[in-house]
Amino acid sequence: MKSVTTGLRRLLMGILHPLRITWRKYRTLGRRYQWAIGLVLAIIILSFVLFGGQGTAPQLGSYERTVTLSTVSNLSGVGGGGNAIGTVRSVTEAKLLAQTGGTVRRVNVEVGSSVSAGAVLAELENASERAAVLQAEGSYDAAVAANSVSVKDVSTDIRNAYRSNFAELETAFEIQIDSLFADPAPGVPGIISIAGYEKGTELQDTRRTITYRLNDWRRNLATANTARADALLIEMENAVSLSSTFVVQLAQAANRSDSGATATQLANVAAARTTITSMSAEVSGLRNTYEAQQTSVPSGTSSATEAAVKQALGSLRLAQAALEKTVIRAPIAGTVNFLPIRVGDYVTSFTHVATVAQNGALEIVIYMSEDQRAALAVGDRLMIEDGRSGIVTSIAPALDPVTKQIEVHIAVEGATEEDTFVNGQTVRVSIPAIATSPTGEGPLLLPLSAVKLYADSRVVFTVSEEGRLVATPVEIGDVRGERVEILTPLSPDLRIVTDARGLAEGERVKIAP
């Protein structure tokens, strides 16, 4: 306790000693200097009492936010305007997914390679699938050989196929293949999309020959019931074989990068090729059955053996389908834009393994709200962020069930090979505004920023003559993009604050000029 008292005494003496020295020096000064020093100290003390601690208070108390006022008619005079984010993508694009899991055995192309429709991009390990196909082919051949139906029944099948195949082949040429010809009726048809192809004359001559074959076939239909089955079979084989060769050559020409064939024409050629391939398989099966039955003893129709042939054929088709799932083919002609797989990689079912697109034909796809959709129509011109314009080519008739947005396709106007657009690029598209009237039918559309949202009320702010905010309660409806419906009637000339965020009723504000 004594040491504490001693310490305090020393501290007090340390403070008082300088004061005594200062006071003694002050007492030695003349009276004039003493009065001057005392006056300065009095002024300092008085200033601190009157103004001390108030240096920042006036600034805090006098701070006023600056707001912008606009009439209701101006704020609600547009709806649906603004910008939309779009994605550049190819008009014709195919994303390939693995149909089955397995190890990548071979990759035939690289990113950036140009491929034709049907080209094999890669293959998965498929040794077991190939063995299954081979086994199914042997079972089918054995079933066909064991099928002992009478020559009469086989002849009936040939005559029925003779009639049905004519109708299918004629339809394939007139509806699908002839879409690439200017006028197939005259003697020398002209090809529309591949006129510059070096084998165009050969294709024209072949098409003319097929026309003659089909005319002969049509005339022979009337006597098909009495004609010999083998003669009808030979006629079918010749016509189908010629048609098969022709459609393969036509598909190769149409899938050339400079052919100019449309997606619809390419699809027609592919469909015709499928039809003729199936027809060729049917005719080949009839030939095998007919020759096998010529050496067998006619014993009438055997339902069991016919069922065995169909069963074997079904097993063969199933094995072929399983094998095809291990082959990754390009469904369209174009450029390989995405190919992440390498030899030795293991992929699972539905893995995205490749993307093939026609990069020379790009479009912009945007998604917009329902009220923005009302501002657009097919054929409208929109501005793109780089100063170019685009034409609306299609608008989805309904909302996407997941995103609740409407899909719109835009073709870039005046696009050239020098354009900087890249497949997959993101661009900004300006959406035009649509006029609305605050005094017309339907609710007002005000910006969301102009409405103050409280827990139990919604208000817009006006400014009184004293410069304070005055709240006007309103009832809101649906939100449309960046705008909200105002169901409460408001005067078109009412001037309200354009941005109510962070403001409170009664707050003093400044009005921006």
d(CA 206, CA 243): 9
Give the model's pLDDT for residue 377.
82
Residue 199's pLDDT is 64
**What would the DSSP string read from start to end of 381-414?**
EEEETTS-EEEEEEE-SS--TTT--EEEEEEETT
Q: Answer with the one of 398, 413, 432 that is the final residue of a domain.
A: 432
Cα-flanking dihedrals φ and ψ of residue 474, to 5°?
Answer: -140, 160
* DSSP-based three-state secondary structure for 223: helix
Return the structure tokens found at 223: 């006597």
Distance CA 192, CA 222 (A): 35
Task: Identify whether residues 154 and 268 lie together within a single domain.
Answer: yes
Residue 26 lies in a domain: yes
| Domain count along the chain | 5
One domain for residues 447 and 457 = yes
Q: Give φ, ψ of 139 to 5 degrees.
A: -65, -35
CATH code, 482: 2.40.420.20
User: Which has the closest alpha carbon to 261: 179, 189, 188, 199?
Assistant: 179
- Residue burial 463-490, b: 16+ Cβ < 10 Å; e: rest: beeeeebebeebebeeebbbbbbbeeeb
Q: Is residue 325 part of a domain?
A: no
**What's the CATH code of the domain at 406?**
2.40.30.170
CATH number for the domain spanning 350: value is: 2.40.50.100
Whole-number Å distance between alpha carbons of 289 and 191: 39
Parallel, antiparallel or unpaired: strands 381-384 and 389-395: antiparallel
Please provide the distance, in angstroms rounded to a whole number, between the alpha carbons at the two ends of the chain. Answer: 73
* Residue 186 pLDDT: 47
204 is a domain residue: yes
Q: Which residues of 208-243 are buried (b: 16+ CB within 10 A; e: fewer)?
A: eebeebbeebeeeeeebeebebeebbebbeebbeeb
Question: Is the distance from CB of 87 to CB of 424 less than 8 angstroms?
Answer: yes
Domain that holds residue 74: 67-79+437-511
Q: Is residue 384 part of a domain?
A: yes
**Domain presence at residue 200:** yes
**pLDDT for the residue numbered 136:** 92
Evaluate whether residue 138 is within a structural domain.
Answer: no
Provide the pLDDT for residue 23: 76
**What pLDDT, on a 0 to 100 scale, did the predictor assign at position 435?**
47
Q: Are residues 163 and 251 in the same domain?
A: yes
Structure tokens at 220: 């022979």
pLDDT the model gives residue 144: 82
Looking at residue 316, its pLDDT comes to: 92
In a domain, 223, yes or no: yes
Q: Give me 283's structure tokens.
A: 């005719």
CB atoms within 10 A of CB 31: 7
373 in Cβ contact with 352 (< 8 Å)? no
Are 352 and 366 part of one and the same domain? no
Assigned domain for 135 exists: no
506: left (phi over 0), alpha (psi -120 to 50) or beta: left
Q: Identify whether residues 242 and 379 lie together within a single domain.
A: no
Question: What angle do helix axes 127-146 and 263-294 make, rounded to 10 degrees?
Answer: 50
Residue located via tokens 């003697």: 187
**In a shared domain, residues 293 and 393:** no
Q: pLDDT by residue for the chain (513 residues), tens digit each?
A: 566 567 667 767 767 777 777 777 777 777 777 777 777 778 888 777 666 544 444 444 456 889 999 888 777 754 445 677 888 887 788 889 999 999 999 999 999 899 998 899 999 999 999 999 999 999 998 888 776 544 446 788 888 888 888 888 888 888 888 877 765 544 444 555 554 555 667 787 888 888 888 888 888 888 888 888 888 888 888 888 988 888 888 888 888 777 777 888 888 888 888 988 888 888 888 888 888 776 654 444 456 677 888 899 999 999 999 999 999 999 888 889 899 999 999 999 999 999 998 877 788 888 877 766 766 788 888 888 777 788 888 888 888 887 778 888 888 876 554 556 777 788 888 776 554 544 445 567 788 888 998 888 899 999 998 889 999 999 988 876 677 888 888 888 889 999 988 898 999 998 887
Residues 47 and 6 in one domain: yes
pTM of the model: 0.39
Enter the tokens of residue 261: 């064939």
| Cβ atoms of residues 445 and 401 within 8 Å | no
In a shared domain, residues 169 and 289: yes
Domain end call among 369, 399, 432: 432
Structure-token match 């699972």, residue found = 348
Please tell me whether residues 161 and 227 are part of one structural domain. Answer: yes
Say whether both 297 and 159 belong to one domain: yes
- Say if residue 155 is in the same domain as residue 279: yes
Residues 285 and 393 in one domain: no
Element (H, E) at 122: strand 120-124
- Helix extents (H) in 29-150: 31-51, 57-62, 72-75, 127-146
Rounded to the nearest angstrom, the gap between the alpha carbon of residue 304 and the centroid of all alpha carbons in its chain is 52
What is the C-alpha separation between 405 and 427, in angstroms, rounded? Answer: 18
SS3 content of the chain, % helix, strand, coil (to 5): 45, 25, 35
| Domain stop point among 432, 448, 468 | 432
The answer to whether 120 and 329 have CB atoms below 8 angstroms apart is: yes
